[in-house]
Copies of this chain bind each other. A is one copy, B any other.
Amino acid sequence: MNTKSKYKTKQREVLIDYLENIPEAHFTASDVCEYCKSKGTPIGQSTVYRQLERMVDEGVVNKYIIDEKSPACFEYVADGTHISGENCFHCKCEKCGKLIHLHCDELVGIAAHLEEHHGFTLNPMRTVFYGICEECREL
C-alpha cells in the first residue's frame, strides 16, 4: 500500500525521538504535534498522519480506534517485537483507557477456532478487546 520511507528527514527523526521516549504508551496524532512543537521542530499534522500511517504499514506502530469521536490511538511497538509474537493480545479499558498487553496462549485458541469453524483468519495485531479492567471494576 505504502512505500517505505526512503529519506531521512528531521521531521521523521523527531517523531522517532518521541516514540522512543514514551514507549508502550498510547498517544494521539496531536500529542505528537505538541511534543514536536515543544521540541522546537514543529511538524504539520498531515506529516504526522502520513508518517504514522506508514509506520503502521511497517508494523512499527499500532493504531487503535477507541471510539468514533475520539482521535485514533497509536502505540509504538519497539522494533516489531509484537508482530512476531503470535500470542500477544491487547485489552483496552473503556473506563481508564489503559491498554493491557496480554501474552496468553489460551487466546491463541480463539484464532484457531475462528479459522476452523468460521473460516476467518484473525489478525491479532489489529484486534483489541474492549472492556473494563480489574481496577476500574472495583470502583
Chain A positions near chain B (C-beta within 8 angstroms): 65, 67-68, 72, 91, 93-94, 100, 102, 104, 106-107, 110, 113-114, 117-123, 126-134, 137
Chain B: CB-nearest residue to A137:
B121
What is the predominant secondary structure among interface residues of chain A facing chain B? mixed
Give the copy number.
2
Which listed residue (B72, B104, B120, B122) contacts A118, Cβ 8 A? B104
- A122 B131 Cβ-Cβ under 8 A: yes
Q: Report A51 CB to chain B, min CB distance, Å.
A: 18
Q: In the complex, which residues of chain B have a beta carbon less than 8 angstroms from the beta carbon of A122?
A: 129-131
Q: In the complex, which residues of chain B have a beta carbon less than 8 angstroms from the beta carbon of A67?
A: 65
- B72 A100 Cβ-Cβ under 8 A: no
- A131 B137 Cβ-Cβ under 8 A: no
- Knowing A68-B65, A113-B106, A113-B107, say if A126 contacts B130 (CB, 8 Å): yes
Q: In the complex, which residues of chain B have a beta carbon less than 8 angstroms from the beta carbon of A127?
A: 127-131
Q: In the complex, which residues of chain B have a beta carbon less than 8 angstroms from the beta carbon of A68?
A: 65, 68, 72
- B110 A133 Cβ-Cβ under 8 A: no
Measured CA separation A83–B110 after assembly (Å): 22
Q: Report A125 CB to chain B, min CB distance, Å.
A: 8
Q: Report A92 CB to chain B, min CB distance, Å.
A: 9
- A120 B94 Cβ-Cβ under 8 A: no
Which listed residue (B65, B117, B121, B131) contacts A114, Cβ 8 A? B131
